[in-house]
A and B are shown apart, each in its own frame.
Chain A
């Protein structure tokens, strides 16, 4: 943050929202739906360095990349290039600025006009900015093609006559033509196969060395990011959850999301059993992102409420039940399915909950298939068992108070009062993660993690968060 070197690119509070209101009527009635693709992102890019941005697909990486270059107009925030705010430039000024800021696309074929030859593609930036004309222009085109490792004699070929790797080289040559300072690479290697990926990464590394380029390198492949980046930012649902130097991000402490991502990197080891952290559920919709920490709906290390005496994993299971109850419109989605196809499994399986001994207690024994279809027709005990089975809850919770609440909630569910049950559960089992949006906490030099676990109020031993006060974290160290 207190760098002597002025960063080449500084992004502050960048937000890009899309309007996905469909139809004239909705717009008229003000029922707008905004997709918060990028929702408040800050970063700095220093001269000659590579900033890797990783995240699941759909988390807003591409939108971020395009917003930085104003290929998509950002909704809010600023992008400073050498101290000048790009978001306030007029379109003519911005066009001139494009000689310093360039972009490499993910899909090399679709980003090349099929009607232009390789030479035309590379020469276009020269023409647009009037950088070279006549024989000088042809010379520059040949030079650029050579720089990226293409045969200059192929200048007359069309994009479809090149291989994937060659096309990407062509895309890089086009970006290089204007002699830029910063190149934003939007998944430049994800459309290529492994050996070609290595070639392109090598090319990018060489170019960085030769021309002193700075890269914003977007990828979903952590191995690639780990290899190329000086610093890494991990993105989730339009926000950075962790950023810092590559080494620091890839070593503990982690944000729980980073941890999950890292555990999913496949190892080239035949004995690797691949027992990574499995994130349940899907990425929530960016139209209506979760309150508090955006990752709390899937977080495997959700922080339990301060007054809880439950073990953390049990607490999380109950919280999952509470969350699902709040969104469910039907109790079937809250119970384990014991349908007809389940019966074959049960024949060889004898877990307590599927014990045939529980069945005689059914007042009206009925085929399993019926139970599968409407769990409320089963007895209260069976129903409770089904709910607990679905969420991996023990027969009784270790904490009496929590067990009582859970019992009441299951009673409510049994009577088909989902709303009551959801309210009951929510009042008792709400994580501080749902209430507080974590700022970025500095955990080392230049390393920031946006997770309540790194707040001062987080009790390391009990694993709980001292609720009541707002997270007071060291948010001043946000410049990562």
Chain B
């Protein structure tokens, strides 16, 4: 800008001073159309001169190699950011090790073939110790070197049971959340994107589902279908999607108004593609957070049903069911002493798992947010951690 002129007007001609300030309003026309040029500035000289520094070229050359890596950068970057989040990584380590340990606790056989030969748990979770292992063991033996978490009311090794119990609790949590969140995402996205009558009808259905407390509905389903793993999955999935649907729909309502959605339509994208590519991914962050919180609540819900004696078979090594089996000892154990280990270890397992899931959810949220810089995020993680703690405590209180 040679004379500080606005490029919108007469940058090129300086011979005509423009306005007649006497007020005749004879404007100087911006001259012929085409490129706006700035006079007194030789662009070619600048273009052809030696580079002032190496930096420009270097940057171009440097990113050249990295382009392929950068093309799929979003998830990679999210991962990197997640990796920097220490509390989330710790929580992830906890969840992964809990899942691994429960998987490796006893050998797994599929159709008679052993696919997983490891056995971290010293005993089978259903083995009654004083019958088949050692007659000197009695129910509610306190923790010892041989039985690190003690013995439960039926004389089974609690350590083995806690390890194996993770299989049910953890997998139910993930399976249910996976099913409900994907259904809720699709449902909410369609409802919010199309709006109008579609939205109205779909949301009234959600309202009906919401009219009943979730645990009561799960109770009804389990009471109808009977207990068992897949029955529990059905019980929690059948009505658990409504929360996701409503959350996603709210997000989508605002996203559908964004200009990039209009832009996608202007390009000629189909509704399906617009929802899949533009609407749903941008509604994902709150969904992921809710889902990770819900893994915890499903686990607690399963435990609660187990505690009420409605979940799995009473002898199953499932954390909630294990709590149920020792319920009466909370008030008064045999001989006036309370066998705390029978409730604290399964309850603690639930607590640690739910807490870790919440921290992970928070970490995912931060990592997926494309706009944040990753600075100063730890404070928020800490807050969520406390929330998770409260939840976990509640889980523990039930025990």
Contacts and interface: CB of A to CB of B under 8 A. Distances in A.
B268 A96 contact: yes
B197 to A, nearest CB: 13
A208 to B, nearest CB: 9
A319 interface: no
A227 B8 contact: yes
Centre residue among B8, B63, B273, B278 by max chain A CB count within 10 A: B8
Interface string A232-255: 000000000000000100100000
Contacts of B60: 151, 153
B71 interface: yes
B248 to A, nearest CB: 15
Nearest to B72: A156
Contact of B9 (A71, A110, A223): A223
Contacts of B260: 110-113
Contacts of A164: none
A269 B8 CA distance: 14
Contacts of A57: none
B264 A124 contact: yes
A396 interface: no
Contacts of A201: 7, 36
Contact of B23 (A157, A174, A205, A275): A275
A117 B68 CA distance: 12
B393 interface: no
B67 A156 contact: yes
A238 to B, nearest CB: 20
B371 A197 contact: no
Contact of A273 (B7, B21, B63, B267): B21
A212 interface: no
Contact of A99 (B18, B268, B371): B268
A193 to B, nearest CB: 10
Contacts of A206: 35
B370 A268 contact: no
Q: Contact size class for A?
A: 35 or more
B27 interface: yes
B267 A98 contact: yes
- SS of B interface (majority): loop
Contacts of A43: none
A268 B266 contact: no
Contacts of A174: 263, 267
Contacts of A115: 74, 281-282, 370
Contacts of A99: 268
B33 interface: yes
Contacts of B74: 115, 117, 158
Contact of A153 (B5, B17, B63, B263): B63
B26 to A, nearest CB: 10
A142 to B, nearest CB: 9
Interface in B209-253: none
Given A156-B69, A250-B27, 19 more contacts: A50-B33, A94-B268, A98-B267, A102-B266, A110-B260, A112-B260, A116-B277, A117-B70, A117-B74, A119-B71, A151-B60, A155-B71, A174-B267, A202-B36, A223-B6, A223-B30, A268-B6, A271-B19, A273-B23
Interface of B: 1, 5-11, 17-19, 21, 23, 25, 27, 29-30, 33-36, 60, 63-64, 66-67, 69-71, 73-74, 258-260, 262-270, 273, 277-278, 281-282, 370-371
12 contacts: A105-B262, A105-B263, A111-B262, A124-B269, A156-B67, A174-B267, A197-B8, A198-B7, A198-B36, A205-B35, A223-B9, A269-B21
